[in-house]
Structure 1
Amino acid sequence: MVVSIPSAVVLSGFFVLASSALSTKFTELHFIFGRFVFVSSLSTLLIGGLLLVIRKMLFSQILGLLIMENAIFLAANSVATGMPLIVELGVLFDIFISILISSVLLLRIKRKFEDIKVEALEVLKE
């Protein structure tokens, strides 16, 4: 990790507080599920970005990207009116397929290069 675990936890707590303070600025938005869902989606987006930035393992970075994608979907769902069930099932299928594809790619990278740390994979740029 780039940052230690206690520092990352403190930074995540700061992100939750900052997203709570930021959501009070959006008074013109009419929240369907309430302000709490928007706060949790915004803090999840920030924590997923933090996970994407501070972790060195490729799997953790892919997980951070998937967390950010789900947070964006949750924010859109909390602000907009409801979606049909078929759209929600399509998003669930999309998440399942992306996890499946990323795990297959991760296993292939590990088998080919014997490491999945980003620093070891930076040699491939040259």
Structure 2
Amino acid sequence: MTRVARSPDCGNSPTNAKAEEIALALMGVGDLRVDLLAEGASWERFGAAVTGRAAIAAALGDQPAHEWIEVSEVVTHGKAGSVSGRMQRAGEPPRIFCHVIRFTSAKAGQIAQIVSFDHAG
């Protein structure tokens, strides 16, 4: 089971908490409800970009296992948010990560685009 240290930035913001939940689901911790994705949503990540609800849902099943994830910062404003921190996959050194999430509106009802990256750090 992945150990997760959550960000203190989410305590007073439902949108921050939602962004953190989405980012963790992208990393294989928890589930991402498919209805949160706009029909033409895209997920740009290392190796390949995927477009559409079904393609993103399928890609979520291919996430590597993590030993631990530490979310250090969550920021949302308007139609965008970012979640960043550190993580370690099984058998690898720690890495830093960031997920940038663009919603279809400032109400954060659906996701239009996700850009994810990680690197040694």
TM-score by length of structure 2 reads 0.26
Could you say which structure has the higher strand fraction? 2
Larger radius of gyration: 1
TM-score by length of structure 1 reads 0.25
